[in-house]
Amino acid sequence: MFETEIISTDKKKTFILITLIAFMLFASFFGYLEYQEYQGRQHYPIVKSEFNQIQPLPNAVPTSDNQSTVAANSATVGMLYQTKMSYNEVKKHYDVELARNGFKLQKESEAYGQKRALYSKGEFTAFIDYVGVTNPEYTYYFRVSWASQ
C-alpha cells in the first residue's frame, strides 16, 4: 500500500512538472510572437515615412489606397499604380527617387512576364513589381518594407 502511494505521488509530480513546462513553452512562444508584432508596429511609422518621401511617377494614377500591413516581424506600405510607361521608364524614375533617399539598387529579376527591381537602405527594402500596361487593374506596385532579420 505504501508503494502505491509513492508511485501515485511520483506520477502527480511528473504530471505537474510536464504541465508546468508545457505552459512555460506556450507562454514563451506567444510572448515571442507578441514581441515580433511589437517590432512591426514600432517600424511601421518609419516605413510609412520612407514610402511618403518617394515621389510617385508623374502621371501614374493610383488604383488603390495605401496597402499597409504589419505582421509578426515586418511592416510594409505600398500602392498600386496605372501608367502607359514602360518598365524602363518607371524604373528610371524610381532609380533617381530612391537614390535621392539613400536606397541602392540590389537586383532586378523577371518571371512570367513580370519584372521586379529590389532596392535597399539599411534594414529597409523597396520594390517595383511591374506587371505591364496590358493589365487592367494596375501597371506596377511600389512598396517599402521592413522585416526583422
Q: What share of the chain is helix, strand, coil (3-state, %, to 5)?
A: 45, 30, 25
pLDDT digits (tens, 9 = 90+) for 58-106: 989 999 877 777 777 888 999 999 999 999 999 999 999 999 999 999 9
Burial of 41 from C-beta contacts in 10 A (0-12 / 13-18 / 19+): exposed
C-alpha grid cell, residue 96: 533617381
In which band, very low, low, confident or very high, does the pLDDT at 10 lie, cut at 50, 70 and 90? Answer: confident
Q: Mind listing the pLDDT tens digit for each residue in 98-142?
A: 999 999 999 999 998 899 999 999 999 999 999 998 888 899 999
CA atoms within 13 A of residue 23's CA, in its CB half-sphere: 6
Place of cell 501614374: 60
Confidence of residue 40 (pLDDT cuts 50, 70, 90): low
pTM of the model: 0.72
Q: What angle do CA 128, 147, 52 make, to 5 degrees?
A: 50
Segment 27-52 mean pLDDT = 70
pLDDT at 147: 85
**Rounded percentage of the chain residues whose pLDDT exceeds 70:** 77
Beta strand segments in the chain, E:
61-62, 67-71, 74-82, 104-111, 114-121, 124-130, 140-147
Domain boundaries, the chain: 34-147
Whole-number average pLDDT of the chain: 83
